[in-house]
């Protein structure tokens, strides 16, 4: 149970400036007593960046996907502190920032995200946070006929692979638009089947999209040692090695945890949490999203974790049962995928050509999606 101070102020500190952090703030304010929380948000930057739409930028699309955090915090009556969470003193109930500030809390939510880093030296790493220029010139090379082969690589370890499938499918669509001939596209992934998180109907549908687009699927495979002309591939099933000739390689980044001092961590720096997203061994400290040991690193799942944590802070606790939802951009008609998740793994899925959630945002978030839709509508008005 939370140990509130004797005053009416109930101090909740949210560390992070991404979708999980903002969803937590929105979910807290939606609680019956949400207005009584004194909320502080620690964020390293000035903006909430809506990363799922970054895949469209190399193809000449630039949808609005940046929102000022100070305006969001003002709108939701929260204090914004710019900085990074460095450590947590669970005994004193203090969150410590990298610049030396100590922020007392009655409940702390760690939503800092993971740290992205290059997974395949020599490849173009698609970080998805606005750093899309390198892949943009690969698209230009394809359009002018300079590049004839591209490999799209999902690294081993935990990451959300869907953006790479989108890049591959939209590249194939652009190649068809410019009538590129003899173009070889290959998707290399440690997954045994296409988008394995959507095992079943979803994975089958994605596999068919890849086949129809002429994209070779190299599953259960690790890519390594790209020398600018050839790429080494190792089978994760047979351990056989081979090399393929390839002009360009684009890879997703690998992830490591934020390694916050004072929190229980695994060997990669991710925060250990239980089925309620509570940090093990610390009272009233929660962690959500990519910063945690939960195997699915996906924005929609992170917002469901945020909703569960907000409910727990409000005194209602229940085991998290996330449901995986995703919009797959293809260059043509998008595909909508849903999956039941058990133990962090998708066990059954469904697929639709019409969006089964509302509003039809890339991140199916209970509070964030309608909030951003309202802000966009107000901006247009």
- Encode pLDDT of 332-376 as tens digits: 999 999 999 887 777 789 999 999 999 999 999 999 999 999 887
**Among 267, 291, 320, residue at a domain's last position:** 320
Same domain, 106 and 19: yes
User: Cα-atom radius of gyration of the chain, to the nearest Å?
Assistant: 21
- Are residues 121 and 107 part of one domain? no
What domain count does the chain have?
2
Question: What mean pLDDT comes out for the span 284-306?
Answer: 96
Q: What is the DSSP letter of 265?
A: B
95 and 176 both lie in a single domain: no
Decide if 334 is inside a domain.
no
Residue 6 pLDDT > 50: no
Measured CA to CA, the distance from residue 271 to residue 279 in angstroms comes to 7
Question: What value does the mean pLDDT take over residues 167-193?
Answer: 96
Question: DSSP letters of 110-145?
Answer: E---PEEE-SSTTSEE--SSS--HHHHHHHHHHHHT
Higher pLDDT: 355 or 239? It is: 355
pLDDT above 70 for 131? no
Does residue 359 have a cis peptide bond before it, meaning omega lies within 30 degrees of 0?
yes
**pLDDT value at position 344?**
72
Q: In terms of domains, do 247 and 279 share one?
A: no
How much is the pLDDT for 126?
95
Question: Are residue 138 and residue 181 in the same domain, yes or no?
Answer: yes
**337 is written with which tokens?**
């995928």
- Do 136 and 225 share a domain, yes or no? yes
pLDDT tens across 73-100, in order?
A: 999 999 999 999 999 999 999 999 999 9
Whether residue 305 sits in one domain with residue 235:
no
Q: How many angstroms separate the Cα of 289 from the Cα of each of 47, 115, 243, 244, 372?
A: 18, 12, 36, 36, 19
Does residue 378 fall inside a structural domain?
A: no
Say what the pLDDT of residue 349 is. Answer: 94
Rounded mean pLDDT of 110-124? Answer: 96
pLDDT of residue 4: 39
Whole-model pTM?
A: 0.94
Residue 84 belongs to a domain:
yes
Residue 197 is assigned to a structural domain of this protein:
yes
In a domain, 380, yes or no: no
CATH number at residue 86: 3.50.50.60
Are 18 and 59 within one domain?
Answer: yes
| Domain annotation covers residue 44 | yes
Final residue of a structural domain among 320, 336, 359: 320
Q: Please give the span between the terminal C-alpha atoms of the chain, in angstroms, as a whole number.
A: 44
Answer with the one of 254, 283, 303 that is the final residue of a domain.
254
**Does residue 181 form part of some domain?**
yes
pLDDT value of position 309: 97
Task: Please check whether residues 296 and 262 belong to one and the same domain.
Answer: yes
Are 98 and 128 in the same domain? no
Domain around 228: 117-254
Same domain for 142 and 250: yes
Q: Does residue 241 share a domain with residue 122?
A: yes
Q: Is the predicted pLDDT of residue 286 greater than 90, yes or no? A: yes
Has residue 301 been placed in a domain?
A: yes
Report the pLDDT averaged over residues 267-275: 96
pLDDT at 133: 65
42-69: pLDDT as tens digits: 999 999 999 999 999 999 876 668 999 9
């Amino acid at each position: 149970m939370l140990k509130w101070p004797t005053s009416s102020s109930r101090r909740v500190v949210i560390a992070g400036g991404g979708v999980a952090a903002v969803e937590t703030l929105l979910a807290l304010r939606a609680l019956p007593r949400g207005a009584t929380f004194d909320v502080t948000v620690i964020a390293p930057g000035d903006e909430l960046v809506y990363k799922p739409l970054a895949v469209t930028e190399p193809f000449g699309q630039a949808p609005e996907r940046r929102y000022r955090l100070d305006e969001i915090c003002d709108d939701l009556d929260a204090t914004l502190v710019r900085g990074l969470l460095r450590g947590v003193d669970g005994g004193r109930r203090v969150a410590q920032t990298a610049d030396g500030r100590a922020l007392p809390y009655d409940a702390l939510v760690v939503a800092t995200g993971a740290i992205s880093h290059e997974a395949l030296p020599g490849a173009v790493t698609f970080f998805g946070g606005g750093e899309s220029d390198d892949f943009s010139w690969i698209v230009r090379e394809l359009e002018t006929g300079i590049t004839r082969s591209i490999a799209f690589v999902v690294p081993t370890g935990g990451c959300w692979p869907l953006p790479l499938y989108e890049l591959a499918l939209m590249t194939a669509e652009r190649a068809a638009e410019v009538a590129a001939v003899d173009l070889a596209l290959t998707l290399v992934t440690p997954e045994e089947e296409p988008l394995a998180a959507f095992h079943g109907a979803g994975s089958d549908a994605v596999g068919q999209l890849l086949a129809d687009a002429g994209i070779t699927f190299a599953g259960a495979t690790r890519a390594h040692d790209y020398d600018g002309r050839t790429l080494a591939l190792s089978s994760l099933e047979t351990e056989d090695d081979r090399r393929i000739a390839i002009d360009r390689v684009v890879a997703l980044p690998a992830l490591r945890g934020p390694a916050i001092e004072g929190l229980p961590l695994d060997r990669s720096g991710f925060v250990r949490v239980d089925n309620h997203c509570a940090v093990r061994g610390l009272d009233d400290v929660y962690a959500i999203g990519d910063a945690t040991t939960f195997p699915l690193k996906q924005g929609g799942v992170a917002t469901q974790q945020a909703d569960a944590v907000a409910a727990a802070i409000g005194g209602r606790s229940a085991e998290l049962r996330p449901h995986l939802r995703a919009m797959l951009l293809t260059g043509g008609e998008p595909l909508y995928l849903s999956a039941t998740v058990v133990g962090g793994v998708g066990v059954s899925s469904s697929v639709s050509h019409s969006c089964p959630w509302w509003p039809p945002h890339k991140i199916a978030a209970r509070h964030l999606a309608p909030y951003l839709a309202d802000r966009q509508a107000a901006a247009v008005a």
